[in-house]
Structure 1
Amino acid sequence: MNIPPLSETANQEILPAQEGFFFPAEWHPHVATWLSWPHTEASWSKERQELMFPAYIDFIKAIAESEQVCINAHNDIVIQAAKLRLLVADADLSKITLLPHPTNDSWCRDHGPAFLINPERKQRMIVNWGYNAWGNKYPPYDRDDLIPVEIAHYCDLDYVTPGIIMEGGSVEFNGAGTVLTSRACLLNQNRNAHLSQADIERYLCDYYGVQQVLWVEEGIVGDDTDGHIDDTVRFVNEDTVIAAYEPNPNDDNYPFLQEIHHELKTMRLLNGKQLNIVELPMPDPVVSDGIRLPASYANFLITNGSVIVPTFRCDKDQQALDIIGQCFPTRKVVGIDSTEIVWGLGSFHCLSQQEPAV
């Protein structure tokens, strides 16, 4: 469905889509990947941070094999501590840039910038979406909300501010005019209660440069983001998605993921084609202190040379790596144990935001 542009946009002179800008698919070549260095107890206690840092460092090193890593670091003390950890781990510091950008938390997918490209003009710009820590769940978030503008200044890029809440993990793009998202998240009253589904669709089209919005209903159990799409469905090319699947009817995720698969089968792309659907198993439940965590193999990051996949010390790890590898035959598949990272209620895709080349 083609959606008309917003008739009025507060605080904006232009709509990116009207100027030919769009958000490319994640497999589009990157200039860099952006992260925000963990430094508070917002997501991990001090003890938990020590447990998660080895995997976090491995994640950085895996990205740096094929592209630059830019890291928002809260202050000079955090920068020095980060450099020490990276040096001890024998990371290639020539591929890693630490920047004094104050943050509240570490989930750069959601508080980081949305980079748009215009290939005809050879230009890029940034969308400075509002951020409220997933419905004001984890204040303060004032520093995180400023990160897109900080990065726009650093990259010397223009930016636009739509004036509504939007998180990078809530949207998934095929690079050919389609975005996937979930009603549970984007229509949640804790984000943009004044907007209807049609309003949200217009914002997505006008500011991400898409022409079609496809909706699933829910997310997975334990996801405090209210249903981010990057734990359930990911595009691997323009007309193929990899979708988390749970065959066990006794598992709490079973009804949600069954419904998502039903929804995906009814969808048609702009060209009329049906989606190709690749089933990706869910890991065994990861439970901490009696709480099920949002562990999903779908929370992978695509880099220039690899696909970095969270693993969870379970028998299904290799099966998931093999399936994802078949979807990305030209990239190396790198599995990294995310058991300690997911304790913070996210994984590698949640931690990162790609900066595309133009």
Structure 2
Amino acid sequence: MFPKEQGYFFPAEWHPHVATWITFPHNDHSWQEDKLGQMYPEYFALIKAISEGELVRINVNSAALQAFVESQLPVYGIDPAKIEFNVQPTNDAWCRDHGPAFLVKEGSAERLVVNWEYNAWGGKYPPFSDDNALPSTIAKRLSLPSATPGIIMEGGSVDFNGAGTVLTSRSCLLNPNRNSHLSQEQIEDYLKNYYGVSQVLWVSDGIVGDDTDGHIDDTVRFVNTNTVIAMVEPNVEDENHAVLAANLAELKQMRLLDGSPLRIVEIPMPDAVVIDGFRAPGSYANFYICNAGVLVPIFDCPQDEIALGILRQLFNDRPVIGLSAREIIWGQGSFHCLTQQEPAPCV
């Protein structure tokens, strides 16, 4: 039986967490050696903020890397009691995409891990076999059952309202470098059966600098069951203007399962984040909702406060916290890309 048939579903990110999983960065292909060190303060600030409300479970590539992380915890004021380690070979840091997808069951203590296949965004960054192995080994570590669909799927390519709807993008999930043998209808069936949803909503594309082929977590995010934030670029000369305008037009035509339209709240993009001549995919949509707050990447530009102000109006059950991501974004991802929530059981 598919997970959906057993009553499992992927909860919204605002559902209470047991923990957040991250994979500690060590790959100098994502951050060159000098940039890896420069991003550590931002990365540990992210860990500290999450640890204020839940465990942080860290995949570390080796015992030596665990020792390094442990040595840094007091430097950044992180309570070691809120940190757990999983020593296991890894390739890169993007736990949203290679980490376990946890499903829950309403009114039950049961949980399940979906073990999607992972190919580093269409085979762009080999090797990736160690990252691909993480979900199944974590499921065993936690003594949780797992389901293996056998197709490529990345956590950053999907966003959920917890009430039967998932948002995604054609540019990513319909890209032939993922599952070229599957039609859109077949991919929707996989999403429904293995994530426990009833409706798939599609936007067209992603932002400039996003090497994932257009992950939804840089453009559109649910903030409650019927409201999304949509990134927009007011500057018509900017490369992101047209694609975000097209996505916005599509969102306005969408209807939820009850027939109601989405409530859409627009957030302006940050100034272009250009590092060493490369435009990184800076976006406020790459926030992470944890027990302690909504952690929003900021980029030292005037739009930071605009974005934080809008998000504070939308989230009234936890603080909205801006954290610098100017060094992290050089790796072409941010807070949501780096994290994967482990939800609490629905009991």
Q: What amino acid sits opposite 1:176 in the alignment? A: A
2:122 alignment partner, SS class: helix
Q: What amino acid sits opposite 2:5 in the alignment? A: Q
Deviation string, structure 1 residues 227-271 (Cα, Å, up to 9, x no partner): 000000000000000110111110100000000100000000000
> Is 1:311 paired with 2:298?
yes
Length-normalised TM-score, structure 1:
0.95
2:286 alignment partner, SS class: coil
Q: In the TM superposition, what are the counterparts of 1:107-118 in structure 2 within 5 Å?
A: 107-118=94-105
* Aligned partner of 1:266 among 228, 232, 253: 253
> Is 1:204 paired with 2:191?
yes
Q: What amino acid sits opposite 1:107 in the alignment? A: W
C-alpha contact (below 8 Å) 2:49/2:292 kept by paired residues? no
> Is 1:141 paired with 2:141?
no
C-alpha contact (below 8 Å) 1:239/1:275 kept by paired residues? yes
| Whole-angstrom CA distance in 2 between matches of 1:261 and 1:94 | 43
* Aligned partner of 2:283 among 272, 276, 296: 296
1:11 alignment partner in structure 2: none
* Aligned partner of 2:325 among 325, 335, 338: 338
2:118 alignment partner in structure 1: 131
* Aligned partner of 2:171 among 174, 184, 192: 184
| Whole-angstrom CA distance in 1 between matches of 2:137 and 2:327 | 29
> Is 1:353 paired with 2:324?
no
Q: What amino acid sits opposite 1:304 in the alignment? A: N
Aligned pair count reads: 345
Length-normalised TM-score, structure 2:
0.98
Q: What amino acid sits opposite 2:54 in the alignment? A: E
Q: Structure 2 stretches of 5 or more lacking a match? A: none
* Aligned partner of 1:54 among 41, 52, 57: 41
| Whole-angstrom CA distance in 1 between matches of 2:284 and 2:118 | 25
Q: What displacement does 1:102 show? A: 1.5
When the two chains are superposed, the root-mean-square deviation of aligned CA atoms in Å is 0.7
| Whole-angstrom CA distance in 2 between matches of 1:224 and 1:248 | 22
Q: What amino acid sits opposite 1:348 in the alignment? A: F
Q: In the TM superposition, what are the counterparts of 1:232-271 in structure 2 within 5 Å?
A: 232-271=219-258
Q: What amino acid sits opposite 1:242 in the alignment? A: I
| Whole-angstrom CA distance in 2 between matches of 1:136 and 1:86 | 34
Q: What displacement does 1:121 show? A: 3.2
Q: What displacement does 1:87 show? A: 2.2
Q: What amino acid sits opposite 2:208 in the alignment? A: V
1:98 alignment partner, SS class: strand
2:309 alignment partner in structure 1: 322
Q: Structure 1 stretches of 5 or more lacking a match? A: 1-13
| Whole-angstrom CA distance in 2 between matches of 1:328 and 1:99 | 32
| Whole-angstrom CA distance in 1 between matches of 2:92 and 2:204 | 27
Q: What displacement does 1:89 show? A: 1.5
1:88 alignment partner, SS class: coil
> Is 1:157 paired with 2:144?
yes
1:215 alignment partner in structure 2: 202
C-alpha contact (below 8 Å) 1:42/1:104 kept by paired residues? no
Q: What displacement does 1:49 show? A: 0.8
Deviation string, structure 1 residues 5-48 (Cα, Å, up to 9, x no partner): xxxxxxxxx20000000000000010000000011213111100
| Whole-angstrom CA distance in 1 between matches of 2:229 and 2:322 | 17
| Whole-angstrom CA distance in 2 between matches of 1:80 and 1:133 | 27
